[in-house]
Amino acid sequence: MKRHEFVCIMCPMGCNLEVLEDEDVILVKGNQCKRGYEYGVKEISNPTRVLTSTVILKNSYLRRLPVKSDGEIPKGMIKDCVKFLSKIEVSAPVKMGDVIHKNILGTGVDIVSTRTVE
Amino acid sequence: MKYDLVVVGGGPAGLAAAIEARKNGVERIVLIERDRELGGILQQCIHNGFGLHVFGEQLTGPEYAERFINELNNLKIEYLTNTMVLEINDKKEVYILNQELGFRRIEAKAIILSMGCRERTRGAIGIPGFRPAGIFTAGTAQRFINIEGYMVGKKVVILGSGDIGLIMARRLTLEGAKVLAVVELMPYSTGLTRNIVQCLHDYNIPLFFEHTVIDIKGKNRVEGVTIAKVDNNRVPIRGTEVFYECDTLLLSVGLIPENELSRNAGIEIDARTSGPFVNESMETSIEGIFACGNVVHVHDLVDFVTQEAQRAGRGAARYIKGEAIDNGVVIRTVNGNGIRYIVPQKLRLENLNDEINLFMRVDNIYNNCRLDVKLDGKIIKSFKKRKVTPGEMETVKLKKSDLSTYNDCSLSIEVVKE
């Protein structure tokens, strides 16, 4: 049985979770509500995060355009995605929500602009 | 130039206050911003997690700002960017300066102050050592990386566990730097738990409580820092020194409300918050001058800044229309045991709508406790809390009917262990 420790971030309580993992059972201890249980299970089965970063911006007084993933990306791929994005160039004008890159590194998630630049 | 309302500062507080004032019938409004664009510090906070309370969804800083900027434009509210406010006074005159208009005097019926806050620097906390390049406040580094497109260093130590420092620990790591450690003087974090988890645990960045930086090595560029454990009096303990080789030191050691203009205007400042004393409408000690956001007290969520700014916007509108009631009966808020400050500091019952949200900060971590609200010594409400910490602002909602009084009296809130 594998043992993991997390701090739950579903609310300000910040419960200390102990997650025990067997071949087909996942046990969560220390959570004070159902959301803590769900967080514990997700953290060991498939932890994902929204990615936020910037890309190079041309044709504007701003040098960088802030972007985010339009959905959650597997935690282990975040670094590779940021590295990939650091080479991308966008030219103004661009609108908030515009797709900057489709299906980043095969995750099925798009990268969108998070601000409008005239 | 004549306006009904001048709003000083175009960050989240100023935007929300101007919008709310317009929605409450104020016609001639001008918002003044010294930067080249609206949105304030939100524009460099490209991470997400903003807006959960106000919009019920997670937005990035620029997205949160853009929603308000769009609304400002839809309501045709005037604004000036690249414009500095040099002075305001108790006659509600505002002196401004920019390249197109030059120096101007604006006469206003009301003013809303929303200048935000400023980061504490090395000078404010007195770290010994040389003064090489490579020492930044966390917010400055954030602006360099996220807006200007410059990387600040390769090997980094962060002093202070404030939210911006934590966010920057993750941001620097993702951009290829190595964050060696986050060092916190206090035995608890001054940032939000969720940031400790998402920014440090996720990337295995160590966090040392009760430690501080006692020396900086390097004359031209930072070559390393020495950290040491501190005792209960926050004095470094001899023999616990550890040297970290690094080229950059980030400081995330607290924020101070930016009240140069307020002080010069003669507005009374509360030593506990470093912001103006305000009443239920966010009005300062000078009638018709209001304040909201981080200029009043430092918030940890922008959502609360927005709510407070809307209160200021409504208050200013009521004042301009001559609808504010001042019959002399006030309730003063007093911090009891365990409470560091309460905002607003003064309530005029007649001006409350249905309820009032009080914002406060506790002085330590308390588990399983109550917040007892007392009106002239009598408990009128009690809120159970599983955990309160100085890093997370507490709010207490009171109904107008809870507060009925005919005399001046005091309302205290204290932390009681169960």
Q: Which of B253, B280, B303 is the last residue of a domain?
A: B253
**Whether residue B229 sits in one domain with residue B169:** yes
A99 touches chain B (CB under 8 A): no
- The rounded radius of gyration (Å) of the Cα atoms in chain B is 22
**Whether residue B247 sits in one domain with residue B148:** yes
ipTM rounded to 2 decimals = 0.89
Answer whether B58 sits within 8 Å of A68, measured CB to CB.
Answer: no
B358 bridge partner residues: B396
pLDDT, tens digit, 9 for 90 and up, residues B146-162: 999 999 999 999 999 98
**Whether residue B193 sits in one domain with residue B80:** no
End-to-end CA gap in chain A: 56
Report which of B383, B343, B341 is spatially closest to residue B363, judged by C-alpha positions: B341
pLDDT exceeds cutoff 90 at A82: yes
- The percentage of residues in chain B with a pLDDT greater than 70, rounded to a whole number, is 100
In A, which residues are within 8 Å of B72 by CB distance? none
Cβ-nearest to A64 among B65, B149, B174: B149
**Whether residue B179 sits in one domain with residue B75:** no
* H-state helical runs in B50-176: 61-74, 122-125, 138-143, 163-174
Cβ-nearest to A66 among B46, B174, B192: B46
Answer whether A54 sits within 8 Å of B149, measured CB to CB.
Answer: yes
**Whether residue B302 sits in one domain with residue B209:** no
Answer whether B148 sits within 8 Å of A96, measured CB to CB.
Answer: no
**Whether residue B412 sits in one domain with residue B338:** yes
Question: B410 pLDDT band (50/70/90 cuts)?
Answer: very high
For residues B78-100, give the mean pLDDT: 97
Q: How many CB atoms lie within 10 A of CB A118?
A: 8
Predicted pLDDT at B222 = 98
Measure in Å the smallest separation between the Cα of B307 and chain A Cα atoms. Answer: 19
For residues B208-229, give the mean pLDDT: 97
A53 touches chain B (CB under 8 A): yes
A64 touches chain B (CB under 8 A): yes
- Tokens standing for residue B8: 């000083």
Cβ-nearest to B193 among A14, A56, A86: A14
Separation of alpha carbons A6 and A19, rounded Å? 8
Predicted pLDDT at B354 = 84
DSSP 8-state secondary structure symbol assigned to residue B174: H
Cβ-nearest to B60 among A49, A66, A116: A66
CATH number at residue B49: 3.50.50.60
pLDDT, tens digit, 9 for 90 and up, residues B16-30: 999 999 999 999 999
Report which of B234, B271, B277, B278 is spatially closest to residue B256, judged by C-alpha positions: B271
Domain ranges of chain A: 2-45, 49-113
**Whether residue B152 sits in one domain with residue B67:** no
Domain span including residue B153: 121-253
DSSP 8-state secondary structure symbol assigned to residue B45: -
- The percentage of residues in chain B with a pLDDT greater than 90, rounded to a whole number, is 85
For chain B, give the mean pLDDT: 95
SS3 at position B308:
helix
Phi-psi group of A80: left, alpha or beta (phi > 0 → left; psi -120 to 50 → alpha; rest → beta) = alpha
Looking at chain B, which residue has its C-alpha nearest residue A76? B202
Cβ-nearest to A9 among B63, B197, B387: B197
For residues B399-406, give the mean pLDDT: 83
**Whether residue B411 sits in one domain with residue B347:** yes
**Whether residue B125 sits in one domain with residue B82:** no
Separation of alpha carbons B49 and A50, rounded Å? 10
Q: Which residue has the higher pLDDT, B268 or B125?
A: B268
In which element (H, E) is residue B78 found?
A: strand B78-80
In B, which residues are within 8 Å of A83 by CB distance? 176
pTM: 0.93
Answer whether A12 sits within 8 Å of B36, measured CB to CB.
Answer: no
For residues A8-34, give the mean pLDDT: 84
Predicted pLDDT at B288 = 97
A116 touches chain B (CB under 8 A): yes
Q: Total structural domains in chain B?
A: 3
Looking at chain A, which residue has its C-alpha nearest residue B387? A13
**Whether residue B334 sits in one domain with residue B318:** no
Pair A84, A43: CB distance under 8 Å: no
Question: B226 pLDDT band (50/70/90 cuts)?
Answer: very high
Q: Which residue has the higher pLDDT, A2 or B173?
A: B173
**Whether residue B296 sits in one domain with residue B243:** no
- The percentage of residues in chain A with a pLDDT greater than 70, rounded to a whole number, is 99
Predicted pLDDT at A1 = 78
Answer whether A68 sits within 8 Å of B193, measured CB to CB.
Answer: no
Residues 6+ apart with CB under 8 A from B48: A50, A52, A68, B58, B59, B60
Cβ-nearest to B149 among A12, A63, A79: A63
Predicted pLDDT at A12 = 67
pLDDT exceeds cutoff 70 at A66: yes
**Whether residue B155 sits in one domain with residue B102:** no
A62 touches chain B (CB under 8 A): yes
For residues B160-177, give the mean pLDDT: 95
- Range A49-113: architecture per CATH: Roll (3.10)
pLDDT exceeds cutoff 70 at B398: yes
Interface size between A and B, measured as CB pairs under 8 A: 73
Q: How many CB atoms lie within 10 A of CB B311?
A: 23
Q: Which of B253, B286, B304 is the last residue of a domain?
A: B253
pLDDT, tens digit, 9 for 90 and up, residues A22-57: 888 888 988 888 888 988 888 888 889 999 999 999
Preceding amide of B344 cis, omega within 30: yes
Longest dimension (CA), chain A: 56
Q: Which of B199, B219, B253 is the last residue of a domain?
A: B253
For residues B267-289, give the mean pLDDT: 97
